[in-house]
Amino acid sequence: MEISKTFKFEASHVLPNHPGKCSNLHGHSWVLTVSIKGDIDPNTGMVADYGDLAKAVNPIINDLDHAHLGAWSTDRVLITHRGSDTQTLPWGTKEVEWLFNMYNPTSENLLVEIAKQLVKTGCPFSSLTLNETCTTSCSLTWEEFNAIGR
């Protein structure tokens, strides 16, 4: 059986390698769904406790919420447009330390970084889905995550 819990956060990003409008600084109302597969525990009647899942995921969501998700260069300069226009870290920009040096913060790359953080918490996810908009999403299974060589 598989259970899922959804988490929401607001964040901006820029895609410096994108030829279209997403190369400009913009934001999204992101939705992360974390799923866990397992057998139903005969004592608890659960695959996993939703509260325990929230304890593992909420610190990650708190890091991401109202933050700029990239793109940052190695000297912590914000890349603002197609890699050619840079500015120093703007005052008041929320930093996500574990996203520094993620130059191309696509949904796909962001989901891999979120998966890495979930592994550090011990969260036994079976799959993750990240909705960037209400009509676009990407998904990552545990098997795919292991195959990319985390």
Tens digit of each residue's pLDDT (9 = 90 or more) over 94-120: 778 888 767 788 999 999 999 999 999
pTM score over 0.85: yes
Cis check for the bond before 67: say yes or no (omega within 30 of 0). no
Q: What is the pLDDT of residues 5-19, one digit of tens each?
A: 999 999 988 887 888
Confidence check: pLDDT of 131 > 80: yes
pLDDT at site 47: 98
CATH assignment of the domain containing 73: 3.30.479.10
Domain range for 116: 2-147
Give the C-alpha separation, 24 to 48, whole Å.
Answer: 40
> Total structural domains in the chain?
1
